[in-house]
């Protein structure tokens, strides 16, 4: 039985300008114990999909099951299985960190989980903030509390919607160590993120969404294997001629060409030289998830 | 502890932590009404032969404050949580519509009763007060607080912004409480306005509540009880239906 099963999930929003399709028959399964990445550009429908999973929105059609339970008709049982870290940095200004965690536990009918709350505070670097009011915490600290709140009931399925958006390196390290540990202990993890190196490092399988459709779904290793195997990367002080720029990915001074073999690498370098430009810091690297992502998104348009 | 109890406790703690604003302030307001209206109108108005105007005013002020604060509690908590986004913490839990309903309404009842008791304690010294039928006092206090707590929940679910909420409060709740006979007996009104007052549900809550103190009222307390209880069943059913359908909270 899958931990999560998305079955032809569609969501349409109707407003004054007409109907907008946020999700278009999205189908895929996440197996128990997987660390699964859901990637896609802004507006691809990731958060909408997670909101429907969490019961915060309703699908226009299709269904979602969590451990075989329908999120719509068996919503209350499903919510016991899910621990959702919302993307928005929200908090209740009336309470301290520990109060927030105690209330959150209480909503699940749990009262005697003090040791687990201590562990959550410890593992997320919040121990010294336990009695601080939520208002006094920095953005990064509030984000940690969101993670802790989602985990008070030790849910078998953990859903993280861009948990590292705008947080510092230290928290990312702490967070991923902890989530990876929970994953090793058997918790299923569904992650959305814009940091593709995080997804590459953590996720064993990945789905990519674009404009509400699944445009890639595979093991992370297979996705990387099928991509252009190498990337030629160098820096330029001048502008690349337009016909070359069209084939390259240019980020400020950094120019990157997908290249499958030595001939292609020589071809690009020669083209740059004959344009009268000097390539600096030339290197050839293996394609990473970002290259795959851009390939997939480019091909899908 | 059951899940709804945690939410109820959270809702009580929410207003308790700012009790200067949520309890002391409305008690002070009621005291000011008592000082001014009691001073100005005592001896000029006879409501019931056996009851002085100031004594008449006490239960009215108690009930008005109780009703307004019960409404304010559930409505402001809900709108605030929606606007700040922290309602998501409750939306993600296995708490069903009945749990939401119980927690929000009971917390509003607690706030309403706390304020009502506070108003009673500061105003009862202005006039000799009797407690002829305490059970009626309690019944109407509970029912009135539950009614307004439930209306506040509905308004809180409906309103997307604070200004919508305050329109609801300023243009509906406040006029209906003021025009319900807090400061006067509706028998002192011209016949037309007496008729109009009979369509105001708040009138029956205050009239029945006052009966508990003096044993006299504009209409029979049994009539008031059946009308208020009947109205409450409808209002509660509406609130539960909105929660069940996820009205404006589960898009």
pLDDT, tens digit (0-9, with 9 covering 90-100), for A264-275:
899 999 999 998
Tell whether the model's pLDDT for residue A250 goes beyond 70. yes
Predicted pLDDT at A109 = 95
pTM of the model: 0.91
Write down the CATH superfamily of domain A4-224: P-loop containing nucleotide triphosphate hydrolases (3.40.50.300)
**Secondary element (H or E) of residue B46:** none
Tell whether the model's pLDDT for residue B1 goes beyond 70. no
Task: For residue A228, name the pLDDT band (cuts at 50, 70, 90).
Answer: low
CA–CA gap between residue B123 and residue B178 (Å, rounded): 18
Mutation site for B-interface testing, chosen from A52, A109, A110, A111 by largest number of B Cβ within 10 Å: A109
Q: Using an 8 Å Cβ cutoff, are B173 and B182 in contact?
A: no
Each residue's pLDDT tens digit, B185-206 = 888 888 998 888 899 989 999 9
If DSSP codes are grouped into helix, strand and coil, which group holds residue B51? strand
Contacting residues of B for A93, CB less than 8 Å apart: 84
Domain segments of chain A as ranges: 4-224, 228-300
Q: Using an 8 Å Cβ cutoff, are A55 and B250 in contact?
A: yes
Please provide the CATH number assigned to the domain covering A228-300.
3.30.70
Q: Hey, are the CB atoms on B92 and A92 less than 8 Å from each other? A: no
Predicted pLDDT at B101 = 98
CA proximity to A4, closest of A41, A33, A25, A24: A33
Task: For residue B96, name the pLDDT band (cuts at 50, 70, 90).
Answer: very high
Each residue's pLDDT tens digit, A12-41 = 998 888 899 999 999 999 999 999 999 999
Q: What percent of chain B has pLDDT over 90?
A: 76
Q: What percent of chain A has pLDDT over 70?
A: 99
* Interface size between A and B, measured as CB pairs under 8 A: 85
Token match 């859903």: residue? A159
Predicted pLDDT at B85 = 94
What's the gap in Å between the CA of A84 and the closest CA on chain B?
A: 7
In sequence order, the β-bridge partners of residue A255 are A234, A250
Tell whether the model's pLDDT for residue B49 goes beyond 80. no
Task: For residue A291, name the pLDDT band (cuts at 50, 70, 90).
Answer: confident
Instruction: Please count the residues of chain A.
Output: 301
CA–CA gap between residue A173 and residue A157 (Å, rounded): 21
Each residue's pLDDT tens digit, A53-77 = 999 999 999 999 999 999 999 999 9
Task: For residue B48, name the pLDDT band (cuts at 50, 70, 90).
Answer: confident
Q: What burial class does residue A31 get, using C-beta atoms within 10 Å of its C-beta: 0-12 exposed, 13-18 middle, 19+ buried?
A: middle
CA proximity to B107, closest of B16, B24, B26, B236: B16
């Amino acid at each position: 039985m899958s931990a999560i099963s998305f079955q032809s999930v569609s969501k349409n929003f109707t407003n004054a300008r007409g109907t907008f399709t946020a999700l278009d028959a999205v189908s895929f399964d996440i197996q128990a114990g997987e660390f699964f990445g859901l990637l896609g550009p802004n507006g691809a429908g990731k958060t909408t999909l997670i909101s429907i999973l969490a019961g915060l929105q309703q699908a226009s059609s299709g269904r979602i099951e969590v451990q075989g339970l329908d999120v719509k008709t068996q919503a209350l049982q499903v919510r016991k299985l899910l621990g959702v870290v919302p993307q928005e940095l929200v908090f209740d200004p009336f309470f301290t960190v520990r109060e927030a965690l105690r209330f959150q536990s209480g909503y699940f009918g749990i009262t005697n989980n003090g040791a687990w709350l201590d562990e959550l505070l410890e593992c997320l670097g919040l121990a010294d903030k336990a009695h601080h009011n939520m208002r006094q915490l920095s953005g990064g600290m509030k984000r940690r509390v969101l993670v802790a709140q989602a985990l008070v009931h030790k849910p078998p399925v953990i859903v993280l919607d861009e948990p590292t958006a705008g947080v510092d390196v230290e928290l990312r390290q702490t967070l991923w160590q902890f989530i990876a540990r929970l994953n090793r202990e058997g918790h299923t993890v569904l992650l959305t993120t814009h940091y593709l190196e995080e997804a590459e490092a953590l996720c064993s399988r990945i789905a990519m969404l674009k404009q509400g459709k699944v445009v890639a779904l595979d093991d992370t290793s297979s996705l990387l294997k099928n991509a252009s195997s190498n990337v030629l990367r160098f820096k330029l002080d001048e502008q690349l001629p337009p016909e070359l720029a069209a084939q390259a990915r240019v980020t400020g001074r950094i120019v990157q060409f997908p290249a499958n073999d030595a001939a292609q690498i020589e071809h690009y370098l020669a083209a740059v030289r004959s344009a009268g430009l000097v390539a600096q810091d030339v290197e050839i690297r293996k394609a990473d998830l970002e290259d795959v992502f851009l390939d997939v998104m480019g091909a899908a348009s | 502890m059951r899940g709804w109890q945690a939410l109820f406790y959270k809702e009580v703690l929410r207003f308790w932590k700012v009790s200067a604003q949520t309890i002391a302030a409305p008690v002070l307001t009621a005291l000011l009404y008592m000082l001014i209206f009691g001073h100005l109108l005592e001896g000029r108005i006879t409501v019931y032969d056996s009851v002085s105007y100031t004594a008449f005013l006490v239960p009215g002020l108690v009930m008005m404050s109780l009703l307004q604060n019960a409404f304010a509690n559930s409505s402001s908590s809900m709108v605030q949580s929606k606007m700040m986004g922290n309602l998501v913490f409750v939306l993600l839990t296995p708490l069903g519509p009945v749990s939401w309903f119980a927690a929000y309404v009971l917390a509003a009842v607690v706030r309403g009763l706390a304020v009502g008791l506070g108003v009673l304690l500061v105003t009862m010294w202005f006039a000799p007060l009797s407690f002829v039928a305490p059970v009626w006092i309690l019944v109407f206090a509970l029912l009135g607080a539950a009614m307004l707590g439930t209306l506040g929940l509905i308004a809180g679910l409906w309103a997307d912004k604070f200004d919508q909420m305050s329109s609801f409060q300023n243009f509906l709740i406040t006029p209906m409480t003021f025009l319900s006979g807090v400061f006067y007996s509706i028998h002192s009104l011209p016949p037309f306005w007496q008729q109009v007052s009979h369509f105001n549900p708040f009138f029956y809550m205050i009239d029945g509540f006052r009966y508990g103190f003096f044993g006299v009222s504009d209409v029979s307390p049994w009539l008031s009880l059946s009308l208020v209880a009947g109205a409450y069943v409808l209002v509660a059913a509406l609130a539960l239906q909105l929660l069940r359908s996820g009205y404006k909270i589960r898009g």
